[in-house]
Amino acid sequence: MSRYFMQLAYLGAPFHGWQSQPGEVTVQSTLENALSILLRTPTAVVGAGRTDAGVNARRMIAHFDSDAVTDIAAMPRGLNSIMGPDIVVERIWPVADDMHARFSAVSRTYRYYVLTRRSPFFNKLAWTTRPLDFNAMNRAAARLLDVSDFTSFAKLHSDARTNICRVTRAEWVECGESARYFEITADRFLRNMVRAVVGTLVDVGRGKLSPDGFDDIIARRDRCAAGTSMPAHALYLWDVRY
């Protein structure tokens, strides 16, 4: 069998996350169903990560193995016609047999979008709040570059073997008069980590927590000390690098 990578984007709202679950519509199960129809044989898909319910992806990478591919250039159009408008497969290409969508990735980037003014066009794609002190939030976010243990932002009772991550970028970026996004890049992410980090940074932006207090929360290694987990609809898996 040959191995193939696929690049896809999807809206998170219609799906109960990435991973297949009995009785639930997920991104993985939708992809596997479409591939199995197109290739006329059961085909499993492995993703670069497991986004939670409601989380979007601008660039997810997945792989599958098959000896039934005959016209790779036509596959994205065929898959998209089966799956509907909420998932788009953008391209498919062959890779070496030892390439793995999850384990071969060297970095992943997420963005969390925030509006400080209501918008009828983007309210369902970003989180809306009153104005925040983004300068203070950036001072706190910079501390993440010196952190290795992210236990304070890890989902309780998770099955992760380690809470060690290496963050190489963490910054709030202006992208409009009343819009910002938080971009964070790391070699790996813990479940719910980005939403917990953003929730704690929002506490800084509201003046409930200082940048030094943000440091203290990191040092405590206690999820209960950190901020709330932010709503999923404003979070995007933005990029995966190999």
For 4-32, what is each residue's pLDDT tens digit? Answer: 999 999 999 999 999 999 999 999 999 99
100 belongs to a structural domain: no
Is the pLDDT at 159 greater than 80, yes or no? no
pLDDT band at 160 (very low <50, low <70, confident <90, very high): confident
Is the pLDDT at 177 greater than 90, yes or no? no
Residues involved in catalysis? 52
Distances in Å between the Cα of 19 and the Cα atoms of 73, 87, 224 are: 26, 15, 26
CB atoms within 10 A of CB 210: 14
Give the predicted TM-score (pTM) of the model: 0.95
Q: Which amino acid is at 71?
A: D
- Distance CA(111)–CA(230), nearest Å, equals 12
Token pair for residue 70?
A: 């005959």
Which residues, in sequence order, are CB contacts of 47 under 8 Å at separation 6+? 18, 27, 28, 60, 61, 62, 101, 102
Which residues, in sequence order, are CB contacts of 83 under 8 Å at separation 6+? 30, 31, 34, 89
Same domain for 89 and 126, yes or no, is: no
Domain boundary among 41, 69, 95: 95
Same domain for 130 and 46, yes or no, is: no
Q: Which amino acid is at 169?
A: R
44 belongs to a structural domain: yes
Domain boundary among 95, 120, 145: 95
3-state secondary structure of 38: helix
Token pair for residue 171?
A: 């910054």
Average pLDDT over every residue of 143-168 = 90
